[in-house]
Chains A and B, each alone.
Chain A
Amino acid sequence: MTQAPERTRPTSATEPAVGRSIDRVDGAVKTTGESEYTADRPYPDIAHATLVHASIARGRITAIDTAAAEEVTGVLAVITHRNAPPLKPPAARINPFDLSTMAAGTKVNYLGSDEVHWNGEPVAVVVAETLETAVEAARLVRVSYAAEPAVTDFAAAEGSAEPARGIPILPEGGRKGDAEQALAAAPVSVDMRFTTPPQNHNAIEPHATTAVWDGDRLTVHDSTQAIDFVRRHLALRFDVPLEGVRVIAPNIGGGFGGKGFVWAGTVLCAMAARVAKRPVRLALSREAVFRTVGGRAPTIQRVALGAERDGELTAIVHTGISQVGRVGGMPETVGRQSQHIYAARTILVRHSTATLDALPNSAMRAPGEAVGTFALESGMDALAHELAMDPLELRMRNEPESNPLDGKRFTHRNLRAAYVRGAQRFGWADRPLRPRSMRDGHTLRGWGVATAFHMPIQLMADVTVRLGMDGTVVVRCGMQEIGVGAATVQAQIAADALGVPVEAVRVELGDSTLPVAPMAGGSGQTATVAASVLRACEELRRSALALARRSSRSPLRGRRIDDLVARDGGLFAADGSGETYAQILARSGRPSLEGRVGARTSVGRVAGQVRFLAGMVGDQRRQVRAATGVHFCEVAVDEDTGEVRVTRWVAVFDVGRVINPKTAASQLRGGIVMGIGAALSEATEVDPRTGRIVGAGLADYHVPVQADVPAIDVSWLDEPDPTTPLGLLGVGEVGISGVAAAVANAVHHATGVRVTDLPLTPDRLLG
C-alpha cells in the first residue's frame, strides 16, 4: 500500500524527477515476494470457496443435488440459487454521474434464479475449511438442466447482427461523404474481410477476492482495476451502507481490462462469507477466469480502401461485427481509428453486434483499436501492394493536417516524425518492394510496417498531498497499481511540483479509505491522477506562502506565488531569496501542510462530475487527442512448416511527455508483446455447438513466451501534448495497436500470402 523509495539513486533536489529513468519505488518488495497481492493476506479462520459452472448455454436448472458435496468433511456451505441470500440486482442502466453503475459486466444476478445465461456461468459456490476440500466437493455437485435453444456460433450469427447504438459521450461510427460510391469509382481499391478470434486477458494473477463481514460492514480484498466500482457495487448489491464497505487492493497482478468490471467471483465471495459467517477467499482457478470473466469479443471486419494512382485515399470503409452477450457486453469499436489516421476524402465507419448466449465480453487492452488496426493497417498494406508503392510512403502521403472525419484539430500530432525516425532505426529504406525477395535457405524473411493509434481517456481523481516538518511528502490516492509504476511516477510528479527530492515522497494507494481514484483503464490513470497531484501541490505551495507571509521575518513576505519556484525543499524567488517548507512550518508551529483535490460532500461530488462531463463533451467537440506511433518488424517464415518467428522490432511513439522512460518503455513493450501474441498464437477456442470454451487454461491459450519475442526497440518523440497535465498521454494501450498488422504485413512481404484471419497460425499460411 505504502511504497517508499528503496534504492533509487540519490538526487539533488534541483534535478527534475520527471523525465528520469528512476527505478520503481516498489522494486525491492516486488522482487522479493514481499508485496501483497489479493490472495496473500492471511486470516486465521479463513475458509476457501470454489465455483461450479453451468454446462449449458441457455436454459433452466431443473435440479441440483448437493447432498454428496455437503457430506464431505470440512464443507461449510454449498450455495445455489435455492438457498442463496437474495441480492439487489445490478444497476439497470448506466448513470453518467455515477460511473460505478457500469461496474457489473453483466445484468445477471448471480445465483438469483434457476436461469442459465451462458456456458460456464456459476451455478453453485462451495465453501470449505480447505481449498482441497472445496475443490473435491465442487466436483460432487450434480446439476440437471432443461436446455433451451441458444445462439452459440458467432460465425453463423453474422447475418443476425444489428447496428450498435452510441451514447452521447461516445458517438457511434462516423460518415463523411459517400464512401461506397467513392470506392466504386476509385482507380485503385482493395475490399477485404478480416476475422479476429475471442481473446482473454490472462493476467498472470487470476482474479481473487477475500471477503470479511462484521455485521453490515464488509472488508474486501479484491484484484480489481477499479476499487471504487467494487466498493459501490457491493454496497448496492448487498444493500449495506457505503461507508461500511472497504476495498483493499495494494497490488494487482496485471489487469489489461480484465479486472475493470466486478465479475462473479467478487460478488459470490462476499455472498459466501456472509453465508459461512467467516472470512472467505475465492481465488479463481484459471479455468474459472475463462468461464466468468469476459474477454475480447471476436470480430468480423470489412476494410475497403479506394485511392488515386498516386496513393491519395479517396475512400475508407471500415465496418465491423462483434459479439455481445444477451446479458451484457459492449461493441468492439474496430473502426474507431479509421476516422482519425488517414486523410481520406470519404469515410464510412459502422459497427454492429451479434447477440449470443455467451459470457459478456469486456474491454481488453485497446478495445477497438487492437483488432481494428489489424484490419485497417493490413488493408493499407494491401493497397500499397496494389499501387506498387512502399507502404510507409502510402501512409506518409495520407497523413492529415486535421481530423479526417470532421476537420477537428489535433491537440498534437507528429506521426510523420515517428515514421521517419522509425524507418531510420529499422533501415526500412533497404526494403525490396516485391514480396518473397529475402530468402535465406528455407527461411523467407519479410518486413512489415503498421501505424499505432489510441485515444487515452481522462477521468477525475481525488488526491491529498501532505508535507511534514521533516520535509517528507505523502501523496494519498486510492488508485490501482496494476504494473504501471503508479507510485513511482506520481512520486516523480509531486517531487517536482513541490521542489523536493523524489526520495522524500511516499505514495499511498490501493485502498478505498484513501481519496477516490478513477479506474485504471483507458490509458488514463497516470494523467488523471497527475492532474490532481499537480493541483494539490499547487494548493500546498499557496498554503506555504500564505503561512510564510504572516511573519514579518520571512523572506517571502510580500512575495506572490507566481514569482516563486519550488526547489530545494521550499519556495524561492529568482534572486535566491526564499525559505524551505521546514523553516516555514517551524516558525508557525504547524506540523504539516496539506493540499487537497476532491469533493468534500456527495452533492459536491455529483456537481464535480457534471462539470467534468460537460468539459469532456466540449473537449471532444473541439479536438482530437491521441497517442500515435509506428511499428516496424521483421519476420522469418519457415517455408516448409509455415512457422512464423518475429526476429526484429522497432517502434517509435508520439505519446506526449514521458514521466519515467524506464517504466514507459516497459508498458509500450508490453503492449507489443501482447500484440505479437494476438498476431501469432492467441485465441480463446469456443465450441460453436455448445458455447463451451475449450482449453480454458494457459496450456492451450498461448500467450507469448520469452522465445516468441525479439528484443524490442522502443523510443518516442517526447513532445508534450499542449492540452494535458505535464503534456502526458497514456502509454498503456497504444503499444498493442497496429502490432498484429505489422506482423501480417511482414508475413505477406516474406511469403506473398495475405492472411486476414487471426491468429496467423501455420495452417492459415500453408492453406
Chain B
Amino acid sequence: MIPVKLRVNGTTELLELDPRVSLLDALREHLGLTGTKKGCNQGACGACTVLVDGERIVACLALAVQYAERDITTIEGVGQPGHLHPLQEAFIRQDGFQCGFCTSGQICSALGMLAEHRAGMPSVVTPRVDAEEIELTQPEIKERMSGNLCRCGAYDGIVEAIEEVAR
C-alpha cells in the first residue's frame, strides 16, 4: 500500500492504495465516484473516459499512482441534476443516450475533444491540417468520438448534442 493524493473535481483526497489499482477503480471503489463506468477494462470502449488537466484519458488503462496531484475531472464534476452543463442538457434534448452506461464517458470525451479542436488539433479526416481554422463538421465529430462505443447506437443524438454546444 502506498499513499496517493488524488485531486478529483477540485477536492484532494489522500488514499492508501495498492499500486495496482487503476485510476478507474480508485475513482469507483475508493472515492465512491461511480459515475465513471467500466465497460471493458482494456481501453477499447471509452466508458471510463475522464479528463486529466483538461485532456481525455481512459481511466482503466491508467494507474491511480500515475495521476497523483493532477487535476482530474469526472462526470460528477461536469454538472449535477439541477446544475447541468450545457453539453449534458444537449445530450438530453438530442437523446444522445439510451441505457446511459456509456454516457459519462461520451460527455467527458466530448469535452476533451472540443478542447482539442479549440487548440487546433487536426484529426485523420481533417481536409487541410494547415487551415486557419478546422471546421467541426459531422465527419470530424464522428472521427474524434470514435473511441467511445455506444452499443445502444445513440450516435446521431451524440453528434447533434456536440454540434449544438460547439456552435
Contacts and interface: CB of A to CB of B under 8 A. Distances in A.
Contact of A31 (B33, B103, B145, B150): B103
A703 interface: yes
Interface in A652-681: 662-663, 665-667, 669-674
Contacts of A697: 40, 42, 44
Contacts of A712: 156
A29 B81 contact: yes
A253 B153 contact: no
Contacts of A708: 146
Interface stretch (B87-95, B114-122, B126-134): B87-95
A118 to B, nearest CB: 22
A662 B95 contact: yes
Given A32-B79, A204-B45, A707-B146, A132 B92 contact: no
A204 B151 contact: yes
Nearest to A74: B18
Interface string A179-219: 00000000000000000000001111110000000000000
A136 B19 CA distance: 13
A670 B152 contact: yes
Contact of A40 (B34, B44, B154, B156): B34
Nearest to A34: B81
A663 B159 CA distance: 16
B101 A670 contact: no
B111 interface: no
B29 interface: yes
Contacts of A201: 151
A671 B153 contact: yes
Nearest to A708: B146
A677 to B, nearest CB: 9
A373 to B, nearest CB: 18
Contacts of B45: 204, 698
Contacts of A383: none
Interface residues on A, range: 35 or more
A426 interface: no
Given A34-B81, A204-B151, A283-B38, A706 B143 contact: yes
B101 A37 contact: yes
B7 interface: no
A23 B93 contact: yes
B75 interface: yes
Given A254-B101, A670-B154, A705-B149, A32 B80 contact: yes
Given A31-B107, A32-B76, A706-B146, A26 B42 contact: no
| Interface hub of B32, B99, B147 (most chain A Cβ within 10 A) | B99
Given A24-B95, A32-B79, A706 B39 contact: no
A133 B155 CA distance: 37
A149 interface: no
Interface residues of B, number: 66
Contact of B81 (A32, A37, A202, A206): A32
Contacts of B40: 206, 286, 697-699
A672 B153 contact: yes
Contact of B156 (A32, A669, A707): A669
A565 interface: no
A202 B153 CA distance: 12
A253 B99 contact: yes
B76 A23 contact: no
A163 interface: no
Contact of A131 (B29, B47, B155): B29
A285 B38 CA distance: 9
A35 interface: yes
Given A709-B155, A711-B159, A698 B42 contact: yes
B100 interface: yes
A29 to B, nearest CB: 6
A439 interface: no
B98 interface: yes
Contacts of B143: 706-707
| Most B CB within 10 A of own CB, among A24, A483, A709 | A483
Given A31-B88, A670-B154, A203 B93 contact: no
Contacts of B145: 706
Interface in A250-307: 251-254, 256, 283, 285-286
A711 B21 CA distance: 39
Contacts of B88: 28, 31-32
B166 interface: no
Contacts of A205: 37, 39, 99, 101
Contacts of A704: 153, 155
B141 interface: yes
B84 A32 contact: yes
A31 B97 contact: yes
Contacts of B41: 285-286
Contacts of A171: none
A33 interface: yes
A7 interface: yes
A33 B148 CA distance: 16
A170 to B, nearest CB: 28
Please give me the 10 A-B residue pairs with the lowest Cβ-Cβ distance, nearest first. A33-B35, A673-B153, A253-B101, A483-B99, A30-B100, A483-B98, A670-B153, A27-B92, A33-B75, A40-B34
17 contacts: A28-B81, A31-B91, A31-B97, A40-B28, A130-B18, A205-B99, A252-B99, A256-B151, A286-B40, A483-B97, A485-B98, A663-B98, A665-B95, A666-B154, A666-B157, A670-B152, A671-B153
Given A33-B74, A483-B100, A698-B40, 4 more contacts: A40-B28, A205-B37, A253-B100, A704-B153
Interface of A: 6-7, 23-24, 26-37, 39-40, 42, 130-133, 136, 201-206, 251-254, 256, 283, 285-286, 481-485, 662-663, 665-667, 669-674, 697-699, 703-709, 711-712
